[in-house]
Amino acid sequence: MLKVAFATADRMRVDQHFGAAAGFAIYQLDGERAQLVELAEFPEESMDGNEGKLAAKIAALEGCAAVYCLAVGGSAVRQLLAVGIQPLRLDAPEPIDALLAKLRTAMRAGGVPWIDKALKKTADGDCFARMAAEGWQE
């Protein structure tokens, strides 16, 4: 399972710059289906000169493997990567449903490095959680 966020004002399309996003639609998905699990919304802010706004947006994406947006600044890219979130920039607005379909296909087929890495991390985490629940000790 992956959690992926989409910078969106209308909840239908990726249509926002990361730093100025009015909100994020956060989906959980596997190779077969996707489900909206959260809507994170933010007050209107200016795009420039407010680095502090990034912390709240990045915190809202905790647990996400990636975030899709129309643009993302260098500082935001560094901060996102530091917490394990892959920023993905689109050239033009795209429907979230179409992106989810592409993601599900990529999850099944493999070969997309950030998806493969995120799925491995999720599988490893599940393995360790099971081991701890079983009382395994080193």
Count of domains for the chain? 1
Question: Two tokens at 115?
Answer: 């998806």
Q: What range defines the domain where residue 35 resides?
A: 2-133
CA angle 119, 33, 4 (to 5 degrees): 50
Task: Note the pLDDT tens digit of each residue in 15-60.
Answer: 999 999 999 999 999 888 999 999 999 887 544 455 677 999 999 9
pTM of the model: 0.84
Q: What pLDDT, on a 0 to 100 scale, did the predictor assign at position 127?
A: 47
pLDDT at 10 over 80: yes
Residue 9 in domain:
yes
CATH number at residue 11: 3.30.420.130
Task: Note the pLDDT tens digit of each residue in 72-129.
Answer: 999 999 999 999 999 999 999 999 999 999 999 999 998 889 999 988 876 665 444 4
Residue 61 in domain:
yes
CA angle 45, 60, 127 (to 5 degrees): 160
